[in-house]
Structure 1
């Protein structure tokens, strides 16, 4: 269990930081993802009730729920990163002294941003092609794929921004000679 620090977090995690807006935006994506999950659950429930009780299957509910769950996964990824709600294997990193641990985390974050950039460029190309050509899903509901495909590049942008916020925060702690402060912030999920 990660302890909650009593000390104040580093500047990038506070209201003094010019990157505070990323933290606020990231929290907003978490709430948006939660709403999308509730709506997806409602859509599936609606489909089940219509099919089971009224013998009237719906055309849209499975596809809508699928797209909403895609939104939950990709738009909510930055929120998961900020609050460490993802699976991480850091057995060896935890054995390092605080400064080296922080350097390892910054290196990992920078490499992650590079991978995210590649995915974002590819996804943006796919989105642009679908949006510019007016592609629609080939189902009976047939929503525009430009809207659906926009979720992935937007999610990658949000995830990259959260990584950048964490990188700036960590570098600030290294520059101030306080790698332990970054560890406290990391454990408190950026608060």
Structure 2
């Protein structure tokens, strides 16, 4: 992890935002169940807010998952490679992941622009869909930043400090 404390807080902003959004999602879903089945007055706006929460949790949480190495990976074969070949493989994987994330970011930005040009709003709260789907390209940027930091720390930093066996 980064030793600069303000930068550390900035890098963990996605985790805080994801946690807060998850808390909102659980709370309103619980309230929706109570209102529907016990009070017999369903919350008609619930689905709109749940959609926004799900989108935000997925894309902001993915950045944090890249930073902590929590994404699913099958690296049994790569772990058997010699150290130098493992580093080369990790760099090639990094390049492939960054290319895919850049493609997703561009497509996500196109989606946000399309929603902005058509002025689409949610039915009840009139929340612009640009606000909801902006999490897509922003999340891709966060994933690129976090994956770059994680890859640098894992692949290059041990070589700089002379700890070749730590990677």
TM-score, normalised to structure 1, is 0.77
Task: Give the aligned partner of residue 104 of structure 1.
Answer: 89
Tell me, in whole angstroms, the C-alpha distance in 1 between the residues paired with 2:29 and 2:145.
32
**Cα shift at 1:140:** 4.0
Task: Give the aligned partner of residue 57 of structure 1.
Answer: 42
Unaligned ranges ≥5, structure 1:
1-12, 184-191
Tell me, in whole angstroms, the C-alpha distance in 1 between the residues paired with 2:9 and 2:93.
23
Task: Give the aligned partner of residue 154 of structure 1.
Answer: 138
Does 2:58 match 1:73? yes
Task: Give the aligned partner of residue 111 of structure 2.
Answer: 126
Deviations 1:119-165 (A, max 9, x none): 1001101102212432113x444421010110100100000111221
Higher RCO, Cα 8 Å, sep 6+: 1
Tell me, in whole angstroms, the C-alpha distance in 2 between the residues paired with 1:113 and 1:90.
18
Task: Give the aligned partner of residue 173 of structure 1.
Answer: 158
Cα RMSD (Å): 2.1
Q: Residue 157 and residue 167 in structure 1: after superposition, are their counterparts in 2 closer, same or farther (change >3 A)?
A: same
Tell me, in whole angstroms, the C-alpha distance in 2 between the residues paired with 1:74 and 1:14.
22
TM-score, normalised to structure 2, is 0.87
Unaligned ranges ≥5, structure 2:
none
Q: Residue 118 and residue 31 in structure 1: after superposition, are their counterparts in 2 closer, same or farther (change >3 A)?
A: same
Helix, strand or coil for the counterpart of 2:76? coil
The structure where helix makes up a greater share of residues is 2
Deviates more, 1:31-40 or 1:102-111: 102-111
Q: How many residues align?
A: 165
